[in-house]
Amino acid sequence: MRNATSYSITIMLLLSFSIFGQINAKTNNKSENKSTSVQGCNPVLSLGGQTGKVTLSKKEIEELKALAIKSDCSDSYTILSYEFTIKIKGQPVSYTTKGPTLDKNMIDALASMKEGSRAFFDNVKIRTPDGKIKIIPGITVTIK
């Protein structure tokens, strides 16, 4: 009886490793597909010529017009929509808008923020040169 028990435990372990290996292989394939970008391009969101963690003065905020896409191989990206989030009186407030343009409410909200405050541009949907819709990383704006 003892041999039968250890035999069935061994079979269960082998099956577990086999199943885990298949799951892991499928997961790796999916992540590889997500990481590849159109024709090797790497589109990055830009605000006021800056990317990533953006720091803006009150004067720079007044000059803002729209978000842009920087890419090392194509200028044919289109910003379809994005979400703008700030805290007003301690509560997060989000605006979703279409296109790259910053509306007056967004610029006013940025201009009214105190030094050190942050705003976020997230969930940025773009159209790639080959017509696919893609979400790219957003940016964080800090007021100086």
| pLDDT, tens digit (0-9, with 9 covering 90-100), for 74-118 | 889 999 999 999 988 889 999 999 999 999 999 999 999 999 999
CA-CA-CA-CA torsion sign (40, 43, 44, 47): positive
Between CA 27 and CA 29 the distance in angstroms is 5
HEC string for the chain? CHHHHHHHHHHHHHHHHHHHHHHHHHHHHHHHHHHCCHHHCCCEEEECCEECEEEECHHHHHCCCEEEEECCCCCCCEEEEEEEEEEECCEEEEEEEECCECCHHHHHHHHHCCCCCEEEEEEEEEECCCCCEEEECCEEEEEC
Entry field: residues in the chain: 144
Q: What is the pTM of this model?
A: 0.70
Confidence of residue 41 (pLDDT cuts 50, 70, 90): confident
Q: What are phi and psi of 23, to 5 degrees?
A: -65, -45
pLDDT value, residue 6:
44
Q: Cα 66–70–75 angle (5° rounding)?
A: 95
Q: Which comes out higher in pLDDT, residue 130 or 33? A: 130
